Structure 1
Amino acid sequence: MSERPVTTTRPRPPMGGGPFGRGPFGGAGMPAEKSMNFGPSMRRLIRRLTPERPRLLAVIGLAVISVVFGVVGPKILGHATDLIFNGVVGRRLPAGTTKEQAVQAARASGNDNFANLLSGMDVVPGHGIDFPALGTVLVWALALYVAASVFSWLQGYLLNDVVQRTVFQLRSDVEDKLNRLPLRFFDGQPRGELLSRVTNDIDNVSQTLQQTMSQLLTSLLTLIGVLAMMFVISPLLALIALVTIPLSTVVTGLIAKRSQKQFVAQWANTGALNAQIEEAFTGHELVKVFGRQPEVEEAFRAKNEELFRASFGAQFISGIIMPTMMFIGNLNYVAIAVVGGVRVATGAMSLGDVQAFIQYSRQFTQPLTQVASMANLLQSGVASAERVFELLDAEEQAPDPADPVPATSRQGRVEFENVSFSYTPEQPLIENLSLVAEPGHTVAIVGPTGAGKTTLVNLVMRFYELDAGRITLDGVDITAMRRDDLRSHIGMVLQDTWLFGGTIRENIAYGNPGATEEQIQAAARATYVDRFVRSLPDGYDTVIDEEGGNVSAGEKQLLTIARAFLADPSLLILDEATSAVDTRTEVLVQHAMAALRSDRTSFVIAHRLSTIRDADLILVMEAGSIVEQGTHTELLAAEGAYHRLYSAQFTGALVGGEGEPVGG
């Protein structure tokens, strides 16, 4: 049994988790997330792209070329329009006259509007459309658009490589970070919430980078190029178009500010819902047994409702940006069309230039609209990035010593010297504990739940750091050793079995990957695994699913014992290792564990006192302290705490005046 405390007053960990229970309902509540700090998180996300700087420069270069070709296209098409319009008008004019004569004739006839239009055109009276020139212009326009598309495709391909490399490194950093985090960190995190950060949030960051980087870069370059062409064609119309920039910026800023908190709440609620679902499905059988389906469904409904409201609010508010920008763009389009038409009529501009400018005005408002529409995606992505960064910034376990002491001896002598430890400063658990486990001895640890039994062995493996004192293995302070070296001496069989998706052979060899087939089968025979494996159709090649659902609870426990047997550690930890084994199998396993414990130090945590009668030393713990120690016979004769526990199990418990079980 685990003695890790779960309290509602435990301080919030750095990542934003909390003290959630592990039952079907423990993860239903989540603490409120603080408002997202957009600027620093966005800059930090951009800094993740620094290793890809050469590729990013290539992406920018390809984008510039693509945009330049695309921006020049409307101007060339405008020239084609002029060729067509000039040909149509020129055919109507008398042949043999000049343009100036045609203008004078129009003014003389009182048609000043046509005269003004004609004065601004490059027309030859009597000549129709110059089809060779028109064909050349159209070929150039087609070539430019094809080239722009090719360079845009290359830019997208290279950018995809940049983004995926960056996200790959981010995932690797998160995985490495998880391996450096202390066990204390995971105690305070619902697994669904943690998985949501590692999977959903990183995937959202990937999508955000993929979509926003390409569009943002192209949109900004298009804005610059289009604006330059607009000023070349008509500074007046360009100034009219520029009016939309401050208006669009203000509108986008106001809407994005309101959607920001909604996106933070959306992803926080996504993680909380994942935690609640994972918890309910893991304890599905218990939920059914105790008839708590209505409560689970209500907890899910409430959390799902919170996620719905946050998601709806975020998407609705940010979704207003696009239609608002389209409305502003349409107003700009109308203004340009009216003013441009007047200037064509007065001869100040050609029809082709107005057509090109209208195209540019569309190209000008389109990137503005794209940038605005990306605001919601960017807000969502940065909110996810901040949640990932909180994980990366979580406090790590103390690093291994720079000059570690090599573990040369494998005798297995363990000594606790005035050890003190607590999960929280205000609740001391173990204080000034001292004990010695001699090589080859079996040390049994018994006591009520919460006494500190599992904590004791977790300290040996440095899953937690001591508050005071020290623990030595073969005379070497365990803090002077690398954690990997320390744990390579230790084999462990837990009450909660763990098997991974793979064959039975691979699961047994997990602690000793280099073991031969003979060694694997010898370990299986010694722990009575071989007898049930032989009855399976595929034998040792039988594939176990991730939950171990195709073998019984007792068989899973036997497999974990075989795994520890094959690892051949100098220090063995058995945490209620026979709890899931039936009575008949337990007798066989006791013989197997007796062979397993031979010539190595063993710590046995047990509630079934029948399993530890032959232990060399029995420690009785209460509230983190050793209240009794000795052999089974000595402790029974002392008629103290151990005698009360033993009597409660084997001779029937009587409840005394103080509510304590006593021997009957």
Structure 2
Amino acid sequence: MSEARGARRPQQPQGGMGMGPGGRPGMGIGMPVEKAKDFKGTLKRLTAYLMPHKFLLAAVFIAAIISTIFNILSPKILGQATTKLFDGLIAKYRGVPGGGVDFAAIEQILIFLAILYIISSVFSYIQQYIMASVAQRTVYDLRKQVEEKLSRLPLKFFDSRTHGEILSRAVNDMDNISSTLQQSLTQLITSLVTIIGVIVMMLTISPLLTLVSLITIPLSLVVTIGVAKRSQKHFVGQQRALGNLNGHVEEMYTGHKIVKAFGFERRAIDEFDNLNDKLYESGWRAQFISGTIMPLMMFIGNLGYVFVCVIGGILVTQKAIQLGDIQAFIQYSRQFTMPITQLANIANIIQSTIASAERVFELLDEQEEIPEAVEAKVIEAPQGAVAFNHVQFGYKADVPLIEDMNIDVKPGQTIAIVGPTGAGKTTLVNLLMRFYELNGGHILVDGVDITDLKRGNLRSMFGMVLQDTWLFNGTIRENIAYGREGATEEEIIQAAKAAHADHFIRTLPDSYNTVLNEEATNISQGQKQLLTIARAILANPSILILDEATSSVDTRTEIYIQKAMSELMHGRTSFVIAHRLSTIRDADLILVMNHGSIIEQGTHEELLARHGFYADLYNSQFTGAHRILWPRNRKLPRPQFK
């Protein structure tokens, strides 16, 4: 069976990144954000994950409100200290008896102000601490569900999607949700309370100055929307160009040897330069246009600041307002613009987060494997008898691949499966291990329908050596021991010797402790195959599946492995998928498949004597490739070779 795999493609960014509220990397204004298809439904579903922590969330909301309110009150109180200082200096200047600065009163105000700041900081710490706990517990539950879901999904789910797409949902989207729950949710509350509180405090100081400050808001919105619309198309172009550039670099890196072998380095560099120029062009335009937002916002804010200062100064001279209140009002006007900017950023972040949550929920809603039988059976001592009775299957419901397949395999027999590419050989193995469900018919192991068996028990009967090797990042010892839990050092070495891997392992610097890297590229393809064979030998299964197990080793090593395999296969039912027909001459039964059907079956000598499809396949490996393309039972005319 070939390992499920899909073409890797670069994950394009969802938008440019900028510094969000609280110093967190977030979506900048004007940057494209992935939007959810069902925002309300996804938000409601995500909220349901927070409901078990509703009391802690209530505590977070209360702490955030208290912290923000105390922080809002501070400028007003600080203004009182300024007023005391100003009034004292004026009285002293005018020679008022007993006049002077009341430092005792100012000291009391400053102490009170310090207490407010401390209380605000304490409640801010409390809300951040509780929210971090809630966010991590929520995401922990969500991650656990995703992990459990992935283990219940059928193989066809992984075959139909790229690894990058699945990982993106399980890792990147989950991290996005985690960051938003932990930071943006409390910032949203804080920003809303700040806006409301600041407006209230400004109104208590001067409704006229409040009106002057609010006039600048529509102007700010017009500027922001206008710039965002102009920068949007450039950010989309930047996304596209970045995705194309990443895809080109990944292709050139993974195919580096092929590029050099065919002398395409110059073309690859020219294409990179072209893509890089496009990224530069769209990138600097997007960044420049979006970068004008902050200076324009500062300019509009300064206009409001000037108006407040001028009108406030006039009001002070008319004794309609105190100097300290003007100071407080200016602080409030400065505080007012910040939460508005934060809300704009948070709105983008929440849009992106709900889109991420929707992608995670789509994964959780995927159709799972058919549940096991209520009273699933377990075969304690499997013998290895396998029967296919009228089996029907197709990867698509309307496109049948296997129709009315019947096979009867006795315990200990070696069954070879041969045929051209796409004939359905690997599909047969997928069905045997119940990676895919049948459309019709039954598969029996020791007389028990595989749908009545526990999946774990069914798959534990099999040992597999695939054409596509799979080794994980770890020591060679750990990779071999993966075949059987609790294997001893002696058993691991014996398995390696049986697979003729012990010699090359001991020539490595750290022998069995040599650590294989992520792709196991620090050993050859043939050596990787030897390790997977050693792993299968250690597993000591009842039924063996060998899918072109010796395709990656040299002829001399193949002979050794064939001997080891012969010993391993002795007394065990074995399914051998092979293209080199010389390796399966001694099989008890050879199944010849084409277009999903078994068109011939028998021993090697019987099939050769029939002079049919198998004979053409066998002879073509020695007499000419054209015979495999035009076998005897094809009705199409043979081409005339000159």
Compute the displacement of 1:589 (Å).
Answer: 0.7
- Which amino acid letter does the alignment assign opposite residue 570 of structure 2? S
Instruction: Check if 1:462 corresponds to 2:463.
Output: no
Rounded to whole Å, the distance in 2 between the matches of 1:262 and 1:403 is 60
Higher alpha-carbon deviation: 583-592 or 175-184 = 175-184
Rounded to whole Å, the distance in 1 between the matches of 2:6 and 2:114 is 66
Higher alpha-carbon deviation: 295-304 or 584-593 = 295-304
Percent of residue pairs identical: 56
- Which amino acid letter does the alignment assign opposite residue 304 of structure 2? N
Higher alpha-carbon deviation: 579-588 or 475-484 = 475-484
In the alignment, which residue of structure 1 is the partner of 2:132? 160
Rounded to whole Å, the distance in 1 between the matches of 2:6 and 2:489 is 42
- Which amino acid letter does the alignment assign opposite residue 447 of structure 2? G
Cα distance change, pair 471–306 in 1 and its aligned pair in 2 (3 A): farther
Secondary structure of 2:551 counterpart:
coil
Instruction: Check if 1:531 corresponds to 2:532.
Output: no
Secondary structure of 1:72 counterpart:
helix
Cα distance change, pair 276–492 in 1 and its aligned pair in 2 (3 A): farther
Rounded to whole Å, the distance in 2 between the matches of 1:204 and 1:305 is 30
Rounded to whole Å, the distance in 2 between the matches of 1:532 and 1:655 is 39
Rounded to whole Å, the distance in 2 between the matches of 1:308 and 1:49 is 42
Compute the displacement of 1:140 (Å).
Answer: 1.6
- Alignment equivalent of 1:621, drawn from 589, 593, 617: 593
Tell whether the 8 Å contact from 2:75 to 2:331 is kept in structure 1 after alignment.
yes
- Alignment equivalent of 1:653, drawn from 616, 624, 631: 624
In the alignment, which residue of structure 2 is the partner of 1:502? 474
Higher alpha-carbon deviation: 536-545 or 79-88 = 536-545
Rounded to whole Å, the distance in 1 between the matches of 2:355 and 2:288 is 17
Instruction: Check if 1:221 corresponds to 2:222.
Output: no
- Alignment equivalent of 2:459, drawn from 487, 497, 522: 487
Secondary structure of 1:456 counterpart:
helix
In the alignment, which residue of structure 2 is the partner of 1:71? 72
Secondary structure of 1:465 counterpart:
coil
Tell whether the 8 Å contact from 2:11 to 2:164 is kept in structure 1 after alignment.
no
Cα distance change, pair 479–336 in 1 and its aligned pair in 2 (3 A): farther
In the alignment, which residue of structure 1 is the partner of 2:63? 62
Cα distance change, pair 568–261 in 1 and its aligned pair in 2 (3 A): farther
- List aligned pairs for 1:182-331, cutoff 5 A: 182-243=154-215, 280-291=252-263, 293=265, 322-323=294-295, 325-331=297-303
- For residues 610-651 of structure 1, give each alpha carbon's deviation from its aligned partner in whole angstroms, at most 9, with x where no partner exists: 21111111000111110100111111111111111111123x
Higher alpha-carbon deviation: 358-367 or 33-42 = 33-42
Secondary structure of 2:406 counterpart:
strand
Rounded to whole Å, the distance in 2 between the matches of 1:36 and 1:619 is 51
Secondary structure of 2:403 counterpart:
strand
Structure with bigger gyration radius = 1
- Which amino acid letter does the alignment assign opposite residue 645 of structure 1? L
- Size of the alignment, in residue pairs? 613
- Alignment equivalent of 1:418, drawn from 368, 374, 390: 390
- Which amino acid letter does the alignment assign opposite residue 68 of structure 1? I
Cα distance change, pair 393–552 in 1 and its aligned pair in 2 (3 A): same
Compute the displacement of 1:338 (Å).
Answer: 3.5
- Alignment equivalent of 1:358, drawn from 314, 330, 338: 330
Once superposed, what is the RMSD of the aligned Cα atoms? 3.7
- For residues 368-403 of structure 1, give each alpha carbon's deviation from its aligned partner in whole angstroms, at most 9, with x where no partner exists: 122224444444444444444444444433343444
Cα distance change, pair 411–424 in 1 and its aligned pair in 2 (3 A): same
> What is the TM-score with the length of structure 2 in the denominator?
0.84
Rounded to whole Å, the distance in 1 between the matches of 2:231 and 2:186 is 23
Cα distance change, pair 3–91 in 1 and its aligned pair in 2 (3 A): closer
- For residues 464-513 of structure 1, give each alpha carbon's deviation from its aligned partner in whole angstroms, at most 9, with x where no partner exists: 22222222222222223332222111111001111112122211110212
- For residues 572-616 of structure 1, give each alpha carbon's deviation from its aligned partner in whole angstroms, at most 9, with x where no partner exists: 110000111111111111111111112221110001112111111
Instruction: Check if 1:340 corresponds to 2:312.
Output: yes
Compute the displacement of 1:419 (Å).
Answer: 1.7
- Alignment equivalent of 1:349, drawn from 321, 340, 343: 321
Secondary structure of 1:572 counterpart:
strand
Tell whether the 8 Å contact from 2:613 to 2:631 is kept in structure 1 after alignment.
no
- For residues 161-213 of structure 1, give each alpha carbon's deviation from its aligned partner in whole angstroms, at most 9, with x where no partner exists: 44344444444444333333332233333334444444444444444444423
- Alignment equivalent of 1:561, drawn from 522, 526, 533: 533
Rounded to whole Å, the distance in 1 between the matches of 2:365 and 2:127 is 33
- Alignment equivalent of 1:177, drawn from 149, 165, 177: 149
In the alignment, which residue of structure 2 is the partner of 1:138? 110
Rounded to whole Å, the distance in 2 between the matches of 1:657 and 1:291 is 33
Tell whether the 8 Å contact from 1:196 to 1:271 is kept in structure 2 after alignment.
no
Secondary structure of 1:511 counterpart:
coil
- For residues 77-105 of structure 1, give each alpha carbon's deviation from its aligned partner in whole angstroms, at most 9, with x where no partner exists: 1111111111122224454xxxxxxxxxx
Instruction: Check if 1:476 corresponds to 2:445.
Output: no
In the alignment, which residue of structure 1 is the partner of 2:37? 37
- Which amino acid letter does the alignment assign opposite residue 565 of structure 2? M
In the alignment, which residue of structure 2 is the partner of 1:83? 84
Tell whether the 8 Å contact from 2:383 to 2:411 is kept in structure 1 after alignment.
yes
Tell whether the 8 Å contact from 2:620 to 2:627 is kept in structure 1 after alignment.
no
Rounded to whole Å, the distance in 1 between the matches of 2:83 and 2:188 is 34
Rounded to whole Å, the distance in 2 between the matches of 1:322 and 1:234 is 28
Cα distance change, pair 45–301 in 1 and its aligned pair in 2 (3 A): farther
- Which amino acid letter does the alignment assign opposite residue 361 of structure 1? S
Higher alpha-carbon deviation: 188-197 or 437-446 = 188-197
Tell whether the 8 Å contact from 2:500 to 2:560 is kept in structure 1 after alignment.
yes
Cα distance change, pair 381–562 in 1 and its aligned pair in 2 (3 A): same
Cα distance change, pair 556–409 in 1 and its aligned pair in 2 (3 A): same
In the alignment, which residue of structure 2 is the partner of 1:452? 424
In the alignment, which residue of structure 2 is the partner of 1:102? none
Unaligned ranges ≥5, structure 2: 15-32, 634-642
Tell whether the 8 Å contact from 2:617 to 2:631 is kept in structure 1 after alignment.
no
Compute the displacement of 1:29 (Å).
Answer: 11
Compute the displacement of 1:450 (Å).
Answer: 0.8
Cα distance change, pair 180–158 in 1 and its aligned pair in 2 (3 A): same
Higher alpha-carbon deviation: 67-76 or 294-303 = 294-303
Cα distance change, pair 514–143 in 1 and its aligned pair in 2 (3 A): same
Compute the displacement of 1:303 (Å).
Answer: 7.2
Compute the displacement of 1:328 (Å).
Answer: 4.3
Tell whether the 8 Å contact from 1:419 to 1:431 is kept in structure 2 after alignment.
yes
Cα distance change, pair 21–192 in 1 and its aligned pair in 2 (3 A): closer
Instruction: Check if 1:570 corresponds to 2:542.
Output: yes
In the alignment, which residue of structure 2 is the partner of 1:586? 558
Tell whether the 8 Å contact from 1:420 to 1:433 is kept in structure 2 after alignment.
yes
Rounded to whole Å, the distance in 2 between the matches of 1:427 and 1:511 is 36
Higher alpha-carbon deviation: 362-371 or 203-212 = 203-212
In the alignment, which residue of structure 1 is the partner of 2:54? 53
- Which amino acid letter does the alignment assign opposite residue 485 of structure 2? P
In the alignment, which residue of structure 2 is the partner of 1:111? none
- Which amino acid letter does the alignment assign opposite residue 440 of structure 2? A
Instruction: Check if 1:522 corresponds to 2:494.
Output: yes
> What is the TM-score with the length of structure 1 in the denominator?
0.81
Cα distance change, pair 638–310 in 1 and its aligned pair in 2 (3 A): farther
Unaligned ranges ≥5, structure 1: 5-19, 96-124
- Which amino acid letter does the alignment assign opposite residue 352 of structure 1? G
- Which amino acid letter does the alignment assign opposite residue 161 of structure 2? Q
Rounded to whole Å, the distance in 2 between the matches of 1:52 and 1:308 is 46
Cα distance change, pair 213–265 in 1 and its aligned pair in 2 (3 A): farther
Rounded to whole Å, the distance in 1 between the matches of 2:424 and 2:205 is 82
In the alignment, which residue of structure 2 is the partner of 1:8? none
Higher alpha-carbon deviation: 349-358 or 155-164 = 155-164
Cα distance change, pair 655–236 in 1 and its aligned pair in 2 (3 A): closer
Tell whether the 8 Å contact from 1:82 to 1:352 is kept in structure 2 after alignment.
yes
